[in-house]
């Protein structure tokens, strides 16, 4: 038996209906040389443009090449899940002309690259809500791409668009209350099962470009035990070799998930 939950875009996904730790929780998985789930905060488009005395929109345009390069690099490296932070709930505060440009740009990118993503066997998802401020044609393109690629069994690509980690947690709490789960029965698994796309595993590695070191309300539940890398490269200049270097940094980390690792003499590592 499975519990079906609705993601922010209205697409339903399933998780096993049983108590215990949340499905895919990082502490339940053995160490991997390649992170199963990589998430990217695509930061630095505006600064990239400003350094060239260009409008901010030029930075967003230049970022398209990076997005495709990183998707291919992740797929080639064996990453199973890739999540990209494209537009946050806070980004609605930006100037209206920049928001309008972003909406048009994202629609063009989605329509242009949908055939390639499908041909690569990539399953695409959009993590966000059906916000009325998102143009209806773009919302339809999101749905069409998820439908087109929904049966693919390659890497899962999640685009976080109009996403906010706090909002996801609040909505999960509301869903949990509506489901009638008794308070004493609520645990991490029950809660995670009410998040959008509950089959998504915890994030193993977060890459935030441009050198900034903030979470920025991104997948707050899923990044609880993630490793973080902060390359100084601005997102439009970030390429496959930079991505591979971040994977190399991840391999050098020791992930203990709150436990200890013994020294060679059997003493516990602090």
Q: State the catalytic residue, choosing from 43, 141, 168, 202.
A: 43
Range of the domain at 126: 2-8+36-249
Domain contains 30 = no
Can you give the pLDDT at residue 3? 33
CB 45 within 8 A of CB 60: yes
Tell me phi and psi for residue 260, to 5 degrees: -130, 155
**Helix, strand, coil % (nearest 5) of the chain?**
45, 15, 40
Can you give the pLDDT at residue 2? 34
pLDDT of residue 19 exceeding 50, the answer is no
Domain contains 18 = no
pLDDT of residue 247 exceeding 50, the answer is yes
pTM to 2 decimal places: 0.85
The whole-angstrom separation of Cα 62 and Cα 54 is: 11
Q: State the catalytic residue, choosing from 91, 152, 217, 237.
A: 91
Burial letters 186-216, b for 16+ CB under 10 A, else e: eeebbbbbbbbbbbbbbbbbbbbbbeeeeee
Can you give the pLDDT at residue 270? 53
Can you give the pLDDT at residue 255? 73
Specify the higher pLDDT residue, 17 or 64: 64
Domain contains 61 = yes
Q: pLDDT confidence of 78, banded at 50, 70, 90? A: very high
Structure tokens at 5: 């939950």
Domain contains 19 = no
91 is catalytic: yes
pLDDT tens, 23-40? 556 555 555 789 999 999
Specify the higher pLDDT residue, 256 or 7: 256
How many domains is the chain built from?
1
Query: For position 166, which CATH number holds?
Result: 3.40.1180.10
pLDDT tens, 167-223? 999 999 999 999 998 999 999 999 999 999 999 999 999 999 999 999 999 999 999
Domain contains 76 = yes
Domain contains 21 = no
pLDDT tens, 216-237? 999 999 999 999 999 999 999 9
Tell me phi and psi for residue 100, to 5 degrees: -60, -40
Domain contains 90 = yes
131 is catalytic: no
∠ CA 102-134-44, rounded to 5°: 30
The average pLDDT across 160-165 equals: 97
Domain contains 207 = yes
The average pLDDT across 10-31 equals: 48
């Amino acid at each position: 038996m499975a519990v079906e939950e609705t993601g922010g875009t209205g697409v339903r996904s399933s998780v096993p209906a049983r108590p215990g730790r949340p499905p895919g929780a990082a502490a339940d998985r053995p160490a991997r040389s390649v992170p199963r789930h990589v998430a990217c905060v695509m930061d630095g488009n505006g600064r990239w443009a400003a350094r060239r005395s260009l409008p901010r929109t030029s930075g967003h345009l230049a970022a398209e090449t990076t997005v495709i390069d990183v998707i291919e690099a992740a797929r080639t490296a064996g990453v199973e899940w890739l999540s990209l932070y494209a537009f946050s709930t806070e980004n609605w505060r930006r100037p209206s002309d920049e928001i309008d440009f972003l909406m048009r740009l994202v629609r063009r990118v989605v329509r242009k690259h949908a055939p390639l993503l499908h041909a690569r066997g990539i399953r695409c998802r959009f993590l966000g809500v059906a916000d009325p401020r998102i143009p209806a044609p773009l919302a339809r393109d999101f749905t069409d791409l998820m439908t087109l690629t929904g049966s693919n069994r390659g890497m899962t690509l999640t685009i976080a668009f109009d996403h906010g980690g706090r909002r996801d947690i609040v909505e999960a709490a509301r869903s949990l209350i509506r489901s009638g789960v008794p308070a004493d029965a609520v645990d991490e698994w029950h809660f995670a099962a009410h998040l959008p796309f509950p089959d998504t595993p915890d994030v193993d590695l977060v890459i935030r470009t441009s050198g900034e070191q903030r979470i920025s309300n991104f997948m707050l539940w899923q990044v609880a035990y993630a490793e973080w890398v902060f390359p100084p490269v601005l997102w439009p200049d970030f390429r496959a070799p930079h991505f591979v270097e971040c994977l190399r940094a991840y391999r050098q980390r020791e992930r203990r998930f709150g436990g200890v690792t013994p020294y060679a003499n059997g003493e516990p590592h602090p």
